[in-house]
Amino acid sequence: MAARHVTRGVLTALNGTTGAGLLLALATRARIRRGRHGVLIAEGYRLPVPPASCFTVGSVILTRRSAQWLLDEQRAELFAHEHRHAGQYAVLGPLFWPAYWVACGYSYVTTGSWGVRNFFERNAGLRAGGYPTDLPLRPWLNRLPLRGPSATRSRRRRDGSPSPD
């Protein structure tokens, strides 16, 4: 296994996100299997949320399907997408959750999609994750006045104003 995969696994174990993923898998009676690149796959996830066929918590990919389904060559891009999320957990740890939900909110408000303008989904690969690659901004956003260079404050001092020095 490559050093980067070992490092990611150690970081997600130390920051507690893999533990959270394992607890979620155990609570939903999912079976834990070894995947590629040091990730674990929890197959048979039973809760209705999130609606995606799989999602990642730490270095654990939870899926409603079997591990074999996810590891099939036809879904190599999907596995890579979820694997990139594991790397994001390694960097942010538990801060991934609020950051991810803020990014989801921003994407939903601007486009109506949870993923199109979500930094984390874009970084993991929109198409591989089953998201559209681009959507137009919501119409009300196009009606907002844009702030250009003319809208910024001038740095010039007005006559008679004290010097900033």
Note the pLDDT tens digit of each residue in 5-36: 999 999 999 999 999 999 999 999 999 999 99
> For residues 162 and 135, what is the distance between their CA atoms, to the nearest angstrom?
49
Q: Is residue 162 part of a domain?
A: no
Domain count, the chain: 1
> For residues 33 and 10, what is the distance between their CA atoms, to the nearest angstrom?
18
Please say whether the beta carbons of 33 and 60 come within 8 A.
no
Q: Is residue 88 part of a domain?
A: yes
Q: Mean pLDDT, the chain, as a whole number?
A: 90
CA 164 to chain centroid: 44
Lowest mean pLDDT among 41-55, 71-85, 124-138, 141-155: 141-155
Q: Is residue 165 part of a domain?
A: no
pLDDT of residue 143: 83
Q: Is residue 161 part of a domain?
A: no
Q: Is residue 153 part of a domain?
A: no
160 pLDDT band, cuts 50/70/90, is low
Q: Is residue 156 part of a domain?
A: no
Domain limits at 128? 3-139
Q: Is residue 145 part of a domain?
A: no
> For residues 118 and 37, what is the distance between their CA atoms, to the nearest angstrom?
25
Q: Is residue 28 part of a domain?
A: yes
